[in-house]
Structure 1
């Protein structure tokens, strides 16, 4: 028995060693290359102390159950997405508020961001809306270069953990592949009709919709937020096993009062481009700070060699 346990420990250590060593060598080589070609020089040189980093909230590690993202199909009929039991192993920081019109305008004035869709009679303290996925990504790159901290759009998973109890559950509770398909269609129609009756779709001042239990503001307001998670269509079997998954990068998940999926170039959600369901009232965004020890090197590599990662 002792020999067997020693063999198992040796096997596990070899397995970990075989993964860890190549990874360390890769990043060591990356570090040397960074120094050789000056990958980090541009980032260091562009820091502007006049641009303050946004106020953030720390989301601490925990477990959470939420609906998986995607359009799920079983036996040719739409079904509720399965519940995911997820674990956040490391904390992350997310902006307390959505990016405001004032903040975004600084990026426009610097020539790093497009103006976005015009919005009349909106104050500077309202969230920036009328922006597409590319606009939001460009702002993240500008903020990264001005603060020296790496900022990115959140993943749908990060957004779910940040939203906490305010993360929506879009389940209808009706299995179209087993129940009368018309029942699910009618329930979906009623829900979508209710969503279309927004009382006031105009963006409101930051903080209007309150904070969740973690101090993150306006999660269930009338501004949906871009994520970096691609929409997907998933075919599942009788027991929920995934039979086929077709990601559609170019269409991204946007989170808010309900999930939606939008084409990357859409600024006005009511103009079309919504993959599933009722489109959001407005499109905006907030960012997460990438605190991984290699984040700056990875960001600089992505900027210098687009599409390589």
Structure 2
């Protein structure tokens, strides 16, 4: 087999990695999953992570993000019963907390690694390609329920603690916290039709935690990614270590720990999957 370019080699390696998903449909059982199609569009996105300017914490910069192609995302978070199917097949570890599997409750007590394992299992079961969203995709799909990370306080080098206190107040909110997971649909739908966005279950994304330095002109002078910590989307943006299954137990890299950790997946569109299959076919010829 002759490989024409590094890109072809990468495609071939990926093809072998997902071969069971692409080429053995007879082995899979039908497993309907309700999704919402998020239409193409643009929005202003505040970058995730921690940003410092002259050694003081500042708000992360914004950038314009355009999705030229829409994407399908689960309307609801993965239920406890659906995740239990993965556990029964030996492809996932049982969630932390010991809650009874239920079709009307979101699975919680799952780590980033658990979420990736579930996506691989669901892909095998359905024949579609399922994956976690990026933080950008999650924020775009969350629409009006995405809370801005800006703290709304002036930079004060004489009192940097003011920014951390403002962050604590913004994330903790007012009144009693509703930490007990609620049935699917309890928090209603957003403007794009997604249910329970920014409720009391945070959702894993593929985006890595970033620590960056801002130059005097406002540009990012230096940036370091820590992919042992991932961004989670919810009532506020969170940053959790890959192996943490219960935010309240620790492992939060910044801010207030999420109440619950759960899963919502993106499904690759048929056109993209067809293009991928065609690329694999050309590479293998």
What is the TM-score when the length of structure 2 is the normalising length? 0.86
Query: Compared with structure 1, are the counterparts of its residues 106 and 295 closer, same or farther at alpha carbon in structure 2 (3 Å cutoff)?
Result: farther
Structure 2 CA distance for aligned equivalents of residues 272 and 75 of structure 1 = 29
Structure 2 CA distance for aligned equivalents of residues 96 and 281 of structure 1 = 21
Q: 1:95 and 2:74 equivalent?
A: yes
- Equivalent of 2:265, from 275, 283, 287? 287
Q: Which has the higher helix share?
A: 1
The answer to whether the 8 Å contact 2:189/2:197 transfers is: yes
1:50 Cα deviation (Å)? 3.2
SS of residue paired to 1:231: strand
Q: Which residue of 2 aligns with 1:263?
A: 241
- Equivalent of 1:211, from 162, 186, 189? 189
SS of residue paired to 1:239: coil
Structure 1 CA distance for aligned equivalents of residues 224 and 14 of structure 2 = 36
1:75 Cα deviation (Å)? 0.8
User: RMSD over aligned Cα, in angstroms?
Assistant: 2.8
Structure 1 CA distance for aligned equivalents of residues 103 and 17 of structure 2 = 38
Q: Which residue of 2 aligns with 1:52?
A: 31
The answer to whether the 8 Å contact 2:83/2:118 transfers is: yes
Aligned length: 274
Q: 1:146 and 2:125 equivalent?
A: yes
Query: Compared with structure 1, are the counterparts of its residues 218 and 298 closer, same or farther at alpha carbon in structure 2 (3 Å cutoff)?
Result: farther
What is the TM-score when the length of structure 1 is the normalising length? 0.80
1:82 Cα deviation (Å)? 1.5
SS of residue paired to 2:52: strand
Structure 2 CA distance for aligned equivalents of residues 234 and 175 of structure 1 = 19
* Per-residue deviation, residues 142-169 of structure 1 (Å, max 9, x unmatched): 0111111100000001101111111111
Query: Compared with structure 1, are the counterparts of its residues 50 and 201 closer, same or farther at alpha carbon in structure 2 (3 Å cutoff)?
Result: same
The answer to whether the 8 Å contact 2:248/2:257 transfers is: yes
Q: Which residue of 1 aligns with 2:41?
A: 62
- Stretches of structure 1 that go unaligned for 5 or more consecutive residues are 1-21, 300-309
SS of residue paired to 1:275: strand
Written as runs of structure 1 = structure 2, the 5 A alignment for 1:58-207 is: 58-120=37-99, 123-176=102-155, 180-194=159-173, 198-207=176-185
Q: Which residue of 2 aligns with 1:237?
A: 215
SS of residue paired to 1:209: coil
Query: Compared with structure 1, are the counterparts of its residues 297 and 258 closer, same or farther at alpha carbon in structure 2 (3 Å cutoff)?
Result: farther
The answer to whether the 8 Å contact 2:21/2:123 transfers is: no
